[in-house]
Amino acid sequence: MRVFGLIILGIFVLCAEVFLGIQSFFPEALQKGKTDIVQDIIENKKTIFDQLSEQDLAWIAENKTVNVGVDPNFYPLETFNERGQYTGLGGDYLRLLTHLTGINFQVHRQQDWATVEELAQLKRIDLFMAVAKSDRRSEYLLFTDPYINMPGVIMAVRSSHLEGALLDDFKGKKVAVVKDYYWQDYVASKYPEIELVPAKDTIHAMQLVSNGNADAVIDYEFNLNEKIQLAGIYQLKAVGSVPSEFGHAVAVRNDLLELFDIINIALKQITPAEAKALEDRWLSKAKPAGSERRLQWYFFFFTQATLLVLFVIGIARSSTRKAVLAKAREMRAKLA
């Protein structure tokens, strides 16, 4: 009976762990019954065809597909879910643009951001959904008004004892940045005394710091926090912040003027309240920070270990009881 009770308790705890795990790692799976904010906005929006010039309409008729370059490692602005679908804040805006313009947007997933930019320079990518403006990028891209602006965060190892650090504090030192990210352009132009250490992605940049190959990393807070969860890099802490001069926007190749005009007209149909709702949908997601994720792993480990110990104790007691009963039966048999 005790073993049966332990089994029931184990099943209950296991179900609780599965629920908590899904809630933490795949929160979208528990939100399917909730209102789709993007669909609600779409239902209240007309297409923009009556606002376009004949030249713009002709461009849409002649160009059936627009190629979209995506950074696969930039949650929550853009990412791919477990089903391989393009999602994130940029993904929401792309859904709206598809409805408003009638254009078929083809998303191209690459391994890293540097590859995406290279393809754009080769004119194999037409548009970006979440990119920050810089002088280098302005040589081949046109930018809409930004729809979100978040500061950058400087992270260093916890043993550094840095607090309220500025980029000036890292002159003559090494700072890790993702190759071709906005922060590489920013630091290179504003702080030439800092030695930049390019990385293929944010996790690699953070590993460079934790391994002692760089003194700090700079990236957006939302991106760094998500990567702490994903890779379990808990050796780093935020030591300072850097204001972003230009937020994230939709960017179009500068030789596609009609497409840029179409996108601008479409984005103007999105009200400030709708833009705020879309922003909150992603930046206010209940996705725990790295320390909270670590506590969840501790919880899972503790409950599993406790169940294992209880199970072993239960089996041991059951075996002892069976041995005692067997011994008693043997003694009774001898006495008989």
pLDDT, position 146: 95
- d(CA 228, CA 237) in angstroms, rounded, equals 10
Asked whether the beta carbons of 180 and 139 are under 8 A apart, the reply is no
Token reading at 333: 């048999």
* pTM exceeds cut of 0.75: no
The DSSP secondary structure of 261-275, one letter per residue, reads HHHHHHHTTS-HHHH
pLDDT, position 332: 67
Sign of the dihedral through C-alpha 246, 250, 255, 261? negative
Low-confidence ranges of the chain (pLDDT < 70): 1-7, 9-10, 12-35, 285-319, 321-336
The angle subtended at Cα 319 by Cα 316 and Cα 322, nearest 5°, is: 150
Token reading at 226: 């998500």
Q: What percent of the chain has pLDDT over 90?
A: 55
How deeply is 273 buried, as exposed, middle or buried, from its count of CB atoms within 10 A (0-12, 13-18, 19+)?
Answer: exposed
Residue tagged 């762990």 (tokens): 17
pLDDT, position 161: 83
- d(CA 75, CA 78) in angstroms, rounded, equals 5
- d(CA 61, CA 34) in angstroms, rounded, equals 36
Neighbours of 304 (CB within 10 A): 14
pLDDT, position 27: 53
- d(CA 249, CA 239) in angstroms, rounded, equals 27
The DSSP secondary structure of 47-116, one letter per residue, reads -SGGGS-HHHHHHHHH--EEEEEE-TTBTTTBEE-TTS-EESHHHHHHHHHHHHH--EEEEEE-SSHHHH
3 state DSSP class of 162: coil
Token reading at 297: 């792993």
Residue 76: asked if its preceding bond is cis (omega within 30°), the reply is yes
pLDDT, position 286: 42
Which helix (H) or strand (E) segment is 216 a member of? Answer: strand 216-220
Instruction: Name which of 4, 10, 3, 2 is nearest 303 in CA terms.
Output: 10
- d(CA 154, CA 219) in angstroms, rounded, equals 7
Helices 221-231, 202-210: axis angle to 10 degrees equals: 70
pLDDT, position 303: 66
pLDDT, position 325: 65
DSSP letter, residue 319: H
Asked whether the beta carbons of 129 and 94 are under 8 A apart, the reply is yes
Question: Which parts of the chain fold into alpha helices (H)?
Answer: 2-25, 37-43, 54-62, 89-101, 113-121, 182-190, 202-210, 221-231, 257-267, 272-283, 290-335
- pLDDT tens per residue, range 196-205: 999 999 999 9
